[in-house]
Structure 1
Amino acid sequence: MVDTRQRATALLVAGCFFMEMLDGTIVATAAPQMAASLATTPTSVGLVITVYLLTLAVLIPLSGWLTARYGARRIFLSAIALFTLASVGCALSGSLGMLVAMRVAQGAGGAMMVPVGRLLVLGTTARTDLPRIMAYIVWPGLLAPVVAPLLGGVLTTYATWHWIFLVNIPLGALAFAFARRLVTAGPTTAPPPLDLPGVLLGCTGLAALTWAAHLVAEPDSGWVTPAALAALALLVLAAAGRHLLRTAHPLVNLRTLDVVTFRASVSGGSLFWIVVGSMPFLLPLLFQEAFGWSAVKSGAVVLFVFVGNIGIKPATTPLLNRFGFRPLLLVSTVGLALAVAGCALLGATTPLPATAALVMLGGAARSLGLTCYSTIAFSDMAPERLRDANALSATANQLAGGLAVAVATVALRLGGALFDTPSGAYATAFCLLGAVCLAPAAGALRLRGDAGDAVRTRPGRPSRPASSNVTVSDSRKSE
């Protein structure tokens, strides 16, 4: 059973995850006000969002090595402090240059905060407790993109844009205080030298791909520059992958992908994340541009995504224990595909309860799927490989989240090229995204029926000994 300390630590990491995800999306709602205050253009303010995502993508792969070198507690506390102080710096920024610099610092804190925090939780959790623990950690990633537009609109309407960063101060202070009490100084290892070629190739490729996604999402960007940059990024990432598979001590250990359940989580989970991340972007646009709804009405209906998230959450662990991962992954991926494609049938005259119900069902499917993918990732991973797997999983999740808006934008542009009406363009985009979600469904079909059973608890099943806990590898020195 999950004890009180484990639950509190998981909720602490969940709160940190919420802050990180919220700051990746909330700035968009304040762009016009920020541009006027800083004497620049709203398009230039887009850089504030992009550098944050860039920093996350580039630095997350380093989290595993830094944890081994300096200890998880030290890195986690430092990351929370850096994120909070950088939020203060963002609020005090008087120029675009200073704000961009503070966002880089904020991204650096976020890049260490969540992966290291998740490793802390995994390091003290028995395998059979993983479903419940991961359910705590996953929900902020589902909540933040949904509430960000509404929260950002309220803060910028009734206060100033500075408050979208100032809200992090009490949250960060509480997180730091609880982390000092909950997180103990665990063991560390003497890591091998930092893989500098892996850093240069991997981080450059991730940065280029994230920047290409930003250019695609810009309404006035063409296709040539983003396509060329994306092609260059893929070439660099291919070179990085070749290096990481050949070197003895890689920055990110791709060999962890030889575990079937982990590979299914990284591949299928990344595609699932892209579809999940695209919906909080497309739905408000559909409601406001195609239906002519107000921002408040649009935001209120989108919140039904979160209603679905919360509604299914108490049943997630019992369902996993009863049916296993393969059936639930099939239900969640196909369910999300149908819910997303079903949005193509919505219109301004569709009864509001029907629209809210469809959105809510999509929210339930996304919550169930992400919990399953996050849990099965570590179900069969050997303890000594946990740190490497955690770093790779966090990198893949961040990259998928960063690509979500770009993929949705491409789908919407393709729809606009086929149809002259906004409703036709959105319908096409939703159908294409629904088709994308069928790919992880196909991956789930290929899983064995007993995939991930190591973390399931079933009636009559003998409990696992304490030695089967998912623990961080043994060390040679303490922090």
Structure 2
Amino acid sequence: MTKDSAHTALLWIVAAGFFMQSLDTTIVNTALPSIAHSLHVAPLAMQPIVVAYTLTMAMLTPASGWLADRFGTRRIYFAAILVFVLGSICCASAHTLGQLVIARVLQGLGGSMLLPIGRLAVLRSVSSEQYVAALAFISIAGQLGPIAGPTLGGWFVQAATWHWIFLINVPIGVVGLYAVQRFLPSHDTAAAPPFDFIGCALLSLSMSAFSLAIDAPVATHRAAWSAGLFALAVVSALAYIPHAKSQRNPLFKLSLFSEPNFSVGLIGNLVCRIGSSAVPFLVPLLLQLQLGYTPLNSGLMMLPAALAGTLAKRWIAPLVRRYGYDTFLLVNTVIVGSAIVAFALISRGTPLVIEIAILAVFGAANSMQFAAMNSVTLKDLSHADAGSGNSLFSMVQMLAIGLGVSIGGGLVKLFSAQWDSAALGFRLSFVCVGVITLLSAWVFRHLDEPSGTRVMRGQAVQGAGR
């Protein structure tokens, strides 16, 4: 095989892995009511299958680079696809909600390594001149997942059964396993530094406890359980600080937070994504449970948001160059939050064109928000801190998705029970998560963005994605 052919094969392998991972974060949402009916549980009790997947990815992503150095890129990437496929089969075979949650954890274990290891394989195999173009090609696969996911999920549910939203990964994964063995370069294992297992455990415990505290599964003494879990989350996070100071190679260096824009961007990302991550979970439920849409039609309704988001990416760099990150994020955050609040206006009497317009505005603004937040958070990190900062940033992204689903679903259940109206429960929930997103505008006001750097910084956002 020629060098160009091997390069092309590598990009297709990594793109396919990224597509599987991004597809699986969106394909489930439109199938939730059907899965709930099949498993004999309430649709709003289904958020654990989303949270389990994203939380597992958040906890295990930092270990991916160390595993690749320790055992080899090809071996770990092969294992990631294999575990992801096995997890998908287990998901399709689940007969109870508990079984499905456990299977999603297994799926998340494989998914947590697909994109980081894939990027690492590309970095080690292509020249620096080709790297940006290679990542741009791979990012297309990541954009196709959210576009195809909701519609594909609705179609599988309506044309066959919900099991196929997971079984679709099997043929893709089998081809991927063969391609990895056949085409992926076998990089030598490196002398990896000792992995900070204690630091990883502390942060994982903190994230898990915090997520469980948001939606404590214990019905009796729920407030006490939530308070205890919150306390455990805080103690675990604080315990990481002296641990990191005492370690030569901590999981994340505390010096990362000396860069002001990284700290502000990290907090802003967390707050903003909680609101925006609730939307892909709540909107299909609203459309199917309250407006009577079929699974396929509810999936098709998510297309305007996805397509508008893809088209809007080209506007980001010119807007940032002209107004700077601080002004852009302040205004765009208000648009995103307002669009989320506007979902509360959707009812059976709402014209279809209004629904599509709200979804399109949300999709366009949210896509630009993600790209700008990603870029402003990481752009000023040193070369030595870039890898560690990106890994921590990825953890926060996954955590925010899980929190958004937990908070959004929990608010619907709370308001529906309080006012004995599911329709009012959805409306009030959209208002609340929209307000949470709006609060991140105050966070972004604290960005340190000298006016003289705006043109230069605007160029960095072009390569940013989700």
- TM-score, scaled to structure 2: 0.79
1:201 positional shift: 1.8
| 232-241 or 104-113, larger mean C-alpha shift | 232-241
Take 2:87 and 2:437, find their aligned partners in 1: how far apart are those partners?
36
Q: Name the residue aligned to 2:110.
A: 109
Q: Matched residue of 2:427: which SS?
A: helix
8 Å CA contact retained: 2:199, 2:244: yes
8 Å CA contact retained: 2:215, 2:407: no
1:366 positional shift: 0.7
Take 2:276 and 2:291, find their aligned partners in 1: how far apart are those partners?
22
TM-aligned CA distance change 1:237 to 1:358, over 3 Å: same
Q: Name the residue aligned to 2:173.
A: 172
Q: Name the residue aligned to 1:439.
A: 439
Q: Name the residue aligned to 2:387.
A: 387
1:388 positional shift: 1.3
Q: Matched residue of 1:350: which SS?
A: coil
Return the match for 2:21 from 17, 22, 27: 17
Take 1:125 and 1:455, find their aligned partners in 2: how far apart are those partners?
24
1:384 positional shift: 2.4
8 Å CA contact retained: 2:317, 2:459: no
Q: Name the residue aligned to 2:310.
A: 310
Amino acid at match of 1:69: R
Aligned residue pairs, count: 452
Q: Name the residue aligned to 2:3.
A: none
Q: Matched residue of 1:190: which SS?
A: coil
8 Å CA contact retained: 1:214, 1:406: yes
8 Å CA contact retained: 1:271, 1:400: yes
8 Å CA contact retained: 1:346, 1:355: yes
Amino acid at match of 2:332: S
8 Å CA contact retained: 2:272, 2:437: yes
The C-alpha deviation readout for 1:448-474, integer Å capped at 9, x for no partner, is 04668656449xxxxxxxxxx99xxxx
| 2:60 matches 1:59 | yes
Q: Name the residue aligned to 1:197.
A: 198
Q: Name the residue aligned to 1:287.
A: 287
| 250-259 or 417-426, larger mean C-alpha shift | 417-426
8 Å CA contact retained: 1:341, 1:431: yes
8 Å CA contact retained: 1:79, 1:112: yes
Take 2:83 and 2:453, find their aligned partners in 1: how far apart are those partners?
39
Q: Name the residue aligned to 2:430.
A: 430
Q: Name the residue aligned to 2:4.
A: none
Q: Name the residue aligned to 2:71.
A: 70
The C-alpha deviation readout for 1:305-344, integer Å capped at 9, x for no partner, is 2132123134445545565533432343121012112223
Q: Matched residue of 1:237: which SS?
A: helix
Q: Name the residue aligned to 1:474.
A: none
CA-atom RMSD in angstroms: 4.2
Unaligned runs of 5+ in 1: 459-468, 471-479
Describe how 1:202-351 pairs up with structure 2 within 5 A.
202-213=203-214, 215=216, 222-320=222-320, 324-351=324-351
Describe how 1:177-192 pairs up with structure 2 within 5 A.
184=185, 189-192=190-193
Take 2:232 and 2:241, find their aligned partners in 1: how far apart are those partners?
14
Q: Matched residue of 1:431: which SS?
A: helix
8 Å CA contact retained: 2:81, 2:177: yes
Take 2:383 and 2:185, find their aligned partners in 1: how far apart are those partners?
19
Take 1:305 and 1:417, find their aligned partners in 2: how far apart are those partners?
30
Q: Matched residue of 1:249: which SS?
A: coil
Take 2:417 and 2:341, find their aligned partners in 1: how far apart are those partners?
19
1:283 positional shift: 2.0
Q: Matched residue of 1:160: which SS?
A: coil
Describe how 1:395-414 pairs up with structure 2 within 5 A.
395-413=395-413
Take 2:96 and 2:294, find their aligned partners in 1: how far apart are those partners?
32
1:170 positional shift: 2.7
Q: Name the residue aligned to 2:370.
A: 370
TM-aligned CA distance change 1:165 to 1:128, over 3 Å: closer
Take 1:179 and 1:94, find their aligned partners in 2: how far apart are those partners?
32
- TM-score, scaled to structure 1: 0.77
1:392 positional shift: 0.7
Unaligned runs of 5+ in 2: 1-6
8 Å CA contact retained: 1:326, 1:445: yes
TM-aligned CA distance change 1:319 to 1:71, over 3 Å: farther
Take 1:74 and 1:16, find their aligned partners in 2: how far apart are those partners?
19
1:367 positional shift: 0.7
8 Å CA contact retained: 1:16, 1:175: no
TM-aligned CA distance change 1:250 to 1:23, over 3 Å: farther
8 Å CA contact retained: 2:29, 2:281: no
1:355 positional shift: 1.9
Return the match for 1:35 from 26, 39, 43: 39
